[in-house]
Amino acid sequence: YHSMKSTHRMTNIQIKRNREVLKGISKEEGINYCIRMFSPKIDFLRTWEQVGRKRENFISVKFENIVRQPSEFIVKVIDASGNTIDRSSANTVAERYTKQKMRKKDIQSRGENVSNYRKVKTRWKNEFTQKNIDVFRQVNGNIVEVLGY
């Protein structure tokens, strides 16, 4: 919601339209709008997870795992692809692409003090109202459980 409303670059007409809609409605309505808008993408996650679990080299990519142990995750993904990477190289890649460094690069490339990479993380539990939770469940069913949360 926050990125679409405020920080996504205007790379296409759809982002511009979404931003106009979001600026004209309440935060709760805006979150519901985004839930509905992203529902088809979330449905892809269900399919990928169900099909992937049947494959030997399937890796479920969760953002929190990347953040907690970036080097280990890089090694795991590279190994699953049939390639190899040593720990030192994985550490170099992980260090090069920290959130702070990506935020700084994003701000520099934009030439303004705005970035898709927020200074502080937001938690859905602090952002979603009960109505948002109900809409999410209505639109996306049991995707949270399917993804192992």
Q: What is the pLDDT of residues 85-122, one digit of tens each?
A: 999 999 999 999 887 888 788 778 877 777 766 676 66
Question: 75 or 148, which is more confident?
Answer: 75
Q: Reply yes or no on whether the pLDDT at 130 is more than 80.
A: yes
126: confidence class by pLDDT, cuts 50, 70, 90:
confident
Q: 38 near 31, Cβ under 8 Å?
A: no
Q: 2 near 117, Cβ under 8 Å?
A: no
% residues pLDDT > 90 (the chain): 42
Q: Average the pLDDT over 66-72 and give the result.
A: 89
Q: Average the pLDDT over 4-30 and give the result.
A: 88
Choice among 29-38, 78-87, 122-131 with the minimum mean pLDDT: 122-131
pLDDT of residue 27: 95
pTM of this prediction exceeds 0.85: no
Choice among 4-13, 40-49, 71-80, 87-96 with the minimum mean pLDDT: 4-13
